[in-house]
Chain A
Amino acid sequence: MSLLQTLYGIFSFLGHYPGYAISYLIETVLYLIVISLFLIFMIYLFRKFMARLQLRLGPNRVGKFGSLQLIADALKLVGKESILPKERDDLPYRVAPMIVMVGLFLAFTILPYGSLIGIGSLTVTNSAVTLVLVFAVISIMPIGEVLAGVSSHNKYALIGALRSIAKDISFEVPMMISILAIVMMASARVPDSLSISSIVSAQFLPYAVLQPLGIFVFFTAMVARASYTPFDMGESDSELVSGYSTEYTGMRFAMFYVGLFGSILLGSMLVSLLYLSGYNGPLSTDVGVIWLVIKAMILVLISFTVWLSMPRIRIDKFVNFGWKYLLPISFANLIISGILTLGLGW
């Protein structure tokens, strides 16, 4: 019994197709709300965590321990005047932040979440190719960043967008090859090896143990995807003011900001699903989603620590790093996993 079927049970009087359509719609909207709230919590957590690492107090005025600070900030951003640059390219300028947000939230609806007691399975998309879908949707987001940089008629934004492209090209190939190793390993055990949920079920051992190189490449790629330090060349705030989002204010800027934290959460979820056996935990599988959230949050905290302790890498060095180190490492990982899968029969 899943959430979707529960909803369909309510709307089944509409007939088969309309009933399912409405249940999907309601479930998706529900997820959007939950994930938005979770992202707000994550930004609060980041600010508190950063403050404590830096021997500060962090937000402490609005609400108990400053817990309502983010709500106040969001209200401030919504209420802000939207200042548009005069020589912008209007349509791409307005569409760019939405592309980032849509890409992000679509990716969240595709992930499998395991199940929770009383509700059942929380997964929305039960497709056989969710892995392909997720990475297809993730690669929409850079388009938004590039559009933002090019359309806002600002030199800093333009350089930021160009750096973003160079960065995306250099990490996505190693990322996909490290994914390939996972698919290969999973295909020896389960039929639908392109579906994330079957990859999770195929992990008799977390793939992080079997493919330590793979998780390194993939985590690095996810850091680069979310573009925070050390790989935030696209927005590098000490060089390019704010990179591609320089000319954005108010709600549109907030979309980029939420997109950044959303990417961190998405990356952590993907790493925990693909490499840390996702929603499987030592206890009963009925609390799968809790395991997933715990694993993802640990990874999120690690990401924050990386963010706060590392200097920014230079763009040409990153391109070098991507092609000269990450790509061979991911190939080595592919070969090792091939040997493990075929030679040893794991």
Chain B
Amino acid sequence: MTIGIKEVEEPRRRVPLVGVISGMATVGKHLFQKPVTLKYPEEKPDLPERFRFRIYLKLDDCVGCTLCEQVCPNGSIKMQNVHRENPRNKRMIYPDVNFGTCTVCRNCEEICPTDAIYLTHVFETSRTRNNFTYSPEELAMDEDKVKK
């Protein structure tokens, strides 16, 4: 295979000011285009289907295998004891998530054998300093029901 080499050409030397004026025209043309930004809280962005942020947990599906705790690169996930009747989760341990250190890498979702832990579109999760950690029950709740 031959190595294709392309020598880049310097822009031609032109009459002075022509480029400046054409640049001004190009910039001026954008005055009539639609802005790309949104007034955020009023207009919600159109998020793609796979956009992920807030972690949810299906308490009934979780088998307490601790894979998510192991795979979490930052140690944001810790297993907690929750007294709850679940025949699949004999050890009664469920993950909690510290959103202060979570990087939304989605490894926990990828590795979960029962798809119990999963990420969703919800991204409006304002927290105060001491409330970054979601307990397993809070992970199962809707965002607006979680005590902040």
Contact = CB atoms under 8 A, between A and B. Distances in A.
A309 interface: yes
B15 interface: no
Contact of B30 (A52, A57, A60, A306): A52
Contact of A60 (B23, B26, B27, B39): B39
A54 interface: yes
Main secondary structure of the interface of B (DSSP, over half): helix
B45 interface: no
Contacts of B37: 55-57
A324 to B, nearest CB: 13
A309 B27 CA distance: 7
B28 A53 contact: yes
A309 B25 CA distance: 9
A206 B105 CA distance: 66
A180 interface: no
Interface in A35-52: 49, 51-52
Interface string A48-83: 010111111100100000000000000000000000
Interface residues of A, number: 14
Interface residues of B, number: 14
A60 B37 CA distance: 12
Contacts, number: 35
Contact of A55 (B23, B24, B26, B36): B36
Given A309-B23, A310-B20, A310-B23, A53 B39 contact: no
A268 to B, nearest CB: 16
B18 to A, nearest CB: 14
B130 interface: no
Interface of B: 20, 23-24, 26-28, 30-31, 33-37, 39
15 contacts: A52-B30, A52-B35, A53-B28, A53-B30, A55-B30, A55-B37, A56-B36, A57-B35, A57-B37, A60-B39, A305-B24, A305-B28, A306-B24, A309-B24, A310-B23
